[in-house]
Amino acid sequence: MDRTGEVFLQVLRNGLWKKEETIPDAGDFRWEDIFRMAKAQSLTGIIGQAVLQCPEAAASLPDGYREKIRTFIIKNCAVHNTFNRCLVHVVSCLRSAGVEPVLLKGQGLARNWPCPELRQCGDIDLWVGEKNYDKAMNVLLPLSSSDGNDIEESPKHASLSFGMVTVEIHRFSGICTSSRKLDAIYRKYSEDGLSNGTVPLDFGDINVVTPSDNFNAFYIFSHLWHHFMAGGIGLRQICDWAMFLHSRKGMIDTGYLGKVLGELDMKEEWQVFGCIASDWLGLPSDEFPFYNPGCRAKAEKVLARILKEGNFGHERACFRKQRSQVYLFRKAGSFIYHISRCAGLFPMFPAQTTKELINITATGFKTVWKDFSRNI
């Protein structure tokens, strides 16, 4: 790892754990590169705050950077509060209609950060289940700023707009696309973890329930793993996972967790990403279930890819900004992109990469056929 990456991770650890390790002045790196990396990983708030709280580092910032950081943090806090108000509003409306949603990830996980307002928001994910899905959509659609024609809907969820906030209403917390057998196993654990042992969080006016701790430990990982395989993730998602595990230390049933990981054949992947959380992000190894230092070499390669690709692969996928206007060329370009990415992942996770490539190919051909059939 180069010097910029080392300093970036040191600053991040300082922010996550409120450490006071000395941050070097900008002698052999540039703060511009640190903040470019922070933006790519969706971690500008916590990186900026950690730098400002170190007098020596703050003094070495380029002109104007301190004011830019303060402005970003103020805006991020305002966005965080807007998301919380939207969450309270949406959950209250659903409850009035007899639907009890479960908050997934996002604003719930922010509570585990040393300063929740520094976590950059994405969207609000609410699980209502298959039985309540239509009812929930009928309640929320008239209240949203979506006009009914711009709703993005998939078998898993639908996205509604409430001003600047996107709210995803979930039939399922996730879908295992590699096989029907694994999907059935995942749904069994998901239904139980979202219905039993749920954890309420106080959002001022109301309590909002989140998944059981046992299921959530796995769910946070499975979500980031899915996005890592599909296109890329930012370190913010691994920070979410690390801070959750830290806040629930001693409370997670490792027997349950081991059973889930075993049945879904994901223990090695869990341990690889666990090395990132522990060895580079600072989570104590005794707080990570099934920590395996033997996975460190592979974890280092995964971390390098994450730092290179950025959140959701935006850094690597910049060529998509100039996508062809021709439909088939666009699809071909996307397929080539995924083939290239899978080739890089194969040496690290051969079995999982093969499953992902099969799924991408099958889904791509189905989409093309469906689109052409619709226009015939």
For residue 70, being part of any structural domain is answered with no
Q: What is the mean pLDDT of residues 160-174?
A: 93
For residue 124, being part of any structural domain is answered with yes
Q: What is the pLDDT of residue 319?
A: 44
305-358 confidence digits (pLDDT tens): 999 998 876 666 544 455 566 767 677 777 787 788 888 888 888 888 888 788
Q: What is the mean pLDDT of residues 203-221?
A: 95
Q: What is the pLDDT of residue 327?
A: 67
335 and 315 in a common domain: no
236-265 confidence digits (pLDDT tens): 999 999 999 999 999 999 999 999 999 999
For residue 228, being part of any structural domain is answered with yes
> Residue 365 and residue 352: Cα distance in Å, rounded?
20
Span of 4-18, 81-95, 149-163, 216-230 with lowest mean pLDDT: 149-163
Q: Which domain holds residue 291?
A: 213-322
Sheet holding 165-170, edge to edge: 102-104, 124-127, 165-170, 157-162, 152-153
The neighbouring-strand residues paired with 210 are 199
For residue 48, being part of any structural domain is answered with no
142 and 116 in a common domain: yes
For β-strands 199-202 and 152-153, DSSP reports them as unpaired
206 and 105 in a common domain: yes
Span of 57-61, 67-71, 215-219, 240-244 with lowest mean pLDDT: 57-61
Q: What is the mean pLDDT of residues 197-206?
A: 94
Q: How far is CA 148 from CA 12, 50, 140, 143, 172, in A?
A: 41, 43, 11, 11, 21
**pLDDT band with cut points at 50, 70 and 90 for residue 162:** very high
> Residue 179 and residue 304: Cα distance in Å, rounded?
29
Q: What is the pLDDT of residue 92?
A: 97
282-303 confidence digits (pLDDT tens): 999 999 999 999 999 999 999 9
Question: What are the phi and psi torsion angles at 310 (to 5°)?
Answer: 80, 175
Span of 188-192, 211-215, 314-318 with lowest mean pLDDT: 314-318
For residue 298, being part of any structural domain is answered with yes
For residue 1, being part of any structural domain is answered with no
Count of domains observed in the chain: 3
147 and 163 in a common domain: yes
**CA 143 to chain CA centroid, nearest Å:** 27
Radius of gyration of the chain (CA): 21
> Residue 140 and residue 117: Cα distance in Å, rounded?
26
For residue 196, being part of any structural domain is answered with yes
298 and 246 in a common domain: yes
* Average of per-residue pLDDT values in the chain: 90
**pLDDT band with cut points at 50, 70 and 90 for residue 56:** confident
Residue type, 152: E
Give percent above pLDDT 90 in the chain.
Answer: 69
Residue 36 has pLDDT above 50, yes or no: yes
> Residue 315 and residue 318: Cα distance in Å, rounded?
6
> Residue 358 and residue 356: Cα distance in Å, rounded?
5
> Residue 35 and residue 48: Cα distance in Å, rounded?
8
**pLDDT band with cut points at 50, 70 and 90 for residue 231:** confident
Residue 170 has pLDDT above 90, yes or no: yes
Q: What is the mean pLDDT of residues 190-202?
A: 96
SS (H, E, C) the chain: CCHHHHHHHHHHHHHHHCCCCCCCCCCCCCHHHHHHHHHHCCCHHHHHHHHHCCHHHHHCCCCCHHHHHHHHHHHHHHHHHHHHHHHHHHHHHHHHCCCCCEEECHHHHHCCCCCHHHCCCCCEEEECCHHHHHHHHHHHHHHCCCCCCCCEECCCEEEEEECCEEEEEECCCCCCCCCHHHHHHHHHHHHHHHHCCCEEEECCCCEEEECCHHHHHHHHHHHHHHHHHHCCCCHHHHHHHHHHHHHCCCCCCHHHHHHHHHHCCCHHHHHHHHHHHHHHCCCCHHHCCCCCHHHHHHHHHHHHHHHHHCHHHCCHHHHHHHCCCCHHHHHHHHHHHHHHHHHHHCCCCHHHHHHHHHHHHHHHHHHHHHHHHHHC
For the whole model, what pTM was predicted?
0.91
**pLDDT band with cut points at 50, 70 and 90 for residue 118:** very high
294 and 197 in a common domain: no
For residue 278, being part of any structural domain is answered with yes
292 and 223 in a common domain: yes
The answer to whether residues 117 and 137 touch, using CB atoms and an 8 Å cutoff, is: no
**pLDDT band with cut points at 50, 70 and 90 for residue 147:** confident
330 and 285 in a common domain: no
207 and 106 in a common domain: yes
101 and 205 in a common domain: yes
Q: Around Cβ 276, how many Cβ atoms within 10 Å?
A: 21
Q: What is the mean pLDDT of residues 364-376?
A: 69
The answer to whether residues 198 and 209 touch, using CB atoms and an 8 Å cutoff, is: yes
> Residue 342 and residue 354: Cα distance in Å, rounded?
8
333 and 316 in a common domain: no
206 and 143 in a common domain: yes
